[in-house]
Amino acid sequence: MTAQLNPRGDVAVLVPAAGAGVRLGPGAPKALRRLGGEPLLTHAVRRVAAAPSVHSIVVAAPATEVAAVRELLAPVAEVTVVPGGATRQASVAAALAAVPAGPEIILVHDAARALTPAALVESVAAAVRAGAEAVIPVLPVVDTIKEVSADEVVLGTVDRAALRAVQTPQGFRRAVLTAAHAAAVDPLTDDAGLVEKQGVRVVCVPGSEYALKITRPFDLALAEYLLGSAPVAGQS
């Protein structure tokens, strides 16, 4: 069933999905790899579309797969599909350029975080709506973290209490994200990194274990296991 987005919503969600998935091993581009019989991208978009504030969704697809991705997502939700770029940052920039006028809150969300519940999309958007310029969902770091030299000798132990693992969706006031991308020089792996460079205050909200990034084969196996219990709209 095609999800209806909210024409009065104030949130646009950019979904970078143009990566190859090298770390997942040989096969289709990662966003098109299957989880429970459906592409990762379908799972991710279905959950984003279930968030009541979402007005529009722009997907950056692998350049050779734009038509296929349009066809794939047509029954899921009304989405705009653009060709992505050579880096995640270039893909986000391409999607940002295609956001319609209206939404003043922009979220950027990895297709690879296929099981992210709609509730997390809403809580990140709510924090921006409440006044934050930039918002990231985070989890505490559970492992002890060591800093090491190039030859794998321990240099020291980092204070774990002050560390957070960062997820997506990351949320921004529209003008803040647009300015950060316009000023970007070196590609970074997340958008909050770009706005940090602009001196913008980035605030944290609690993340979700279900928002894990599917990166390696183990993660895909874990996501298969979680699929049965993963909420679409419910609690994060």
| Minimum CB distance to ligand CTP smaller for 30 or for 173 | 30
Minimum CB separation from ligand CTP for residue 24, in Å? 6
By CB under 6 A, name the one of 11, 48, 53, 110 that touches ligand CTP. Answer: 110
Candidate list 129, 164, 197, 213; residue touching ligand CTP; CB under 6 A? 213
The three-class DSSP label of residue 157 is strand
CA 166 to chain centre: 11
* Interacting span for ligand CTP (CB under 6 A) from 21-29, 49-57, 176-184, 220-228: 21-29
74 binds ligand CTP (CB under 6 A): no
> Looking at this protein, which amino acid is placed at residue 216?
R
Residue nearest to ligand CTP (CB): 19
The nearest distance, CB 18 to ligand CTP, in angstroms, is 3
Query: Helices 118-129 and 40-49 sit at what angle, rounded to 10 degrees?
Result: 50
80 touches ligand CTP (CB under 6 A):
no
Strands 170-173 and 134-140, sheet pairing = antiparallel
Q: How far apart are CA 162 and CA 118, in angstroms?
A: 28
| Residue tagged 């020089």 (tokens) | 185
Q: Which is nearer to ligand CTP, 105 or 112 (CB)?
A: 112
Report d(CA 196, CA 199) in Å as an integer: 5
Q: Which residue lies nearer to ligand CTP by CB, 96 or 156?
A: 96
In 3D space, the residue among 10, 21, 35, 44 whose CA is nearest the CA of residue 167 turns out to be 44
User: Residue 161 binds which one of ligand CTP, Mg ion, none, with CB within 5 to 8 A depending on kind?
Assistant: none
Does position 117 interact with ligand CTP (CB under 6 A)? The reply is no
The number of residues in the chain equals 236
Q: How far apart are CA 52 and CA 60, in angstroms?
A: 22
CA distance 109 to 131: 20
Site residues, Mg ion (CB under 5 A): 19
Candidates 1, 22, 101, 185: give the one binding ligand CTP (CB under 6 A): 22
User: Which positions touch ligand CTP (CB under 6 A)?
Assistant: 16-23, 30-31, 60, 84-88, 91, 110-112, 213, 215
